Amino acid sequence: MSPRASARGRRDELHGVLVVDKPRGLTSAAVVAQVRRRTRVATAGHTGTLDPLATGVLPVCLGAATKLVQWLAAEDKAYDASLELGVETDTLDLDGLVVRRDPEGAARVDARALAAAVAAGAARREQVPPMFSAIKQGGVRLHELARAGVEVERAPRTVEILEARLLEVALPRARLHLRASKGTYVRSFVRDVGAELGCGATLTALRRTASGRFAEAQAVPLAEVAPEVVAARLVTPARALALPAVTVAAAHWRDVLDGRPLPAALVADVAPGLFQLLTPAGDVLAICERAPGAAGAAGAAGEGGAVVYPRVLAYGAPDVQRSR
């Protein structure tokens, strides 16, 4: 990929993932915009939205690493969430308007019943997303319909709750830890716990503690993001993906950039699945996938099946880029 220029002619010189500790009150898009301004990169994007109420781990891809978002966003995420029983809001969290209160019902819930409701929520494999969400239906985002006073039926989405356990119980409030698949709404999980108990519940605080391999300990507070901090804390694309790697000599870089087949011997030992092509310096040229089957797709082909290039990054091959 040739480094992308902005409207002012900037070219990306930073390529990697910066793990930001998102503060409460900002949208994820606003955090990305601040990181872009502070680092002066032309391209940046996050790997999974956090609501304004939420804080914590927000991986921000810079430069060529924005081409990795589809893989990084698909990884599991972990959260610490606080809830209150006996309260329901239109947004399913404290940022919304209260639509129901049931303090008497909440008072009848004990710790054992709450634990059972959390376990029941973890066992579900489908979840109805909230109206206040960025999901599109009929080409319109659900939160836009919700703000216009329109509620529509939402199809349940397949999710997986990998871990759900109570951390603290001080009824009618509690704190729990969740680890879940992409697309899981913690607000909806809390709503379903409240529905299971019959008294309702709402999310009062949320902190993402991990996103894939990116952990809370790696996160840089947004206020501290500066060029020198980014240079020291940036995770390279190769480390961010942690995929099997094949090093490619400069003589083959143009073939990779143009999507032409590589010599089969270069990838003969690669197992089916995703892997990355690296320069000798460790920069990512491309993300590849080897699938069992007949040759014929763009890329190298051998007995193990065709190799295709789902994404070409090529930020590590500047000499080839300039000669194209």
CATH number for the domain including 231? 3.30.2350.10
Assess whether 55 and 166 both reside in one domain: no
Instruction: List active site positions.
Output: 51
Assess whether 229 and 160 both reside in one domain: no
Q: Is the peptide bond before 52 cis (omega within 30 degrees of 0)?
A: no
At 11 the pLDDT is 52
Assess whether 186 and 270 both reside in one domain: no
> Is residue 3 one of the residues assigned to a domain?
no
> Is residue 252 one of the residues assigned to a domain?
yes
> Is residue 223 one of the residues assigned to a domain?
yes
Assess whether 67 and 139 both reside in one domain: no
At 296 the pLDDT is 39
> Is residue 319 one of the residues assigned to a domain?
yes
At 130 the pLDDT is 86
> Is residue 96 one of the residues assigned to a domain?
yes
Assess whether 24 and 114 both reside in one domain: no
Last residue of a domain, one of 211, 228, 260: 211
Assess whether 52 and 173 both reside in one domain: no
Tally the domains of the chain: 3
Assess whether 70 and 217 both reside in one domain: yes
> Is residue 5 one of the residues assigned to a domain?
no
At 225 the pLDDT is 96
Mean pLDDT by 10 residues, the chain (324 residues): 42 85 96 95 93 96 93 95 97 95 98 97 90 82 82 89 97 98 95 97 98 96 94 93 89 85 80 89 88 49 62 67 43
Assess whether 185 and 232 both reside in one domain: no
> Is residue 58 one of the residues assigned to a domain?
yes
> Is residue 9 one of the residues assigned to a domain?
no
Assess whether 47 and 139 both reside in one domain: no
Instruction: Give residue 136's domain range.
Output: 77-211
Q: Angle CA(122)–CA(242)–CA(291) in degrees, nearest 5? A: 85
Contact yes or no for 77/206 (Cβ under 8 A) = no
Assess whether 85 and 184 both reside in one domain: yes
- CATH number of the domain where residue 285 is located: 2.30.130
At 316 the pLDDT is 61
Assess whether 83 and 196 both reside in one domain: yes
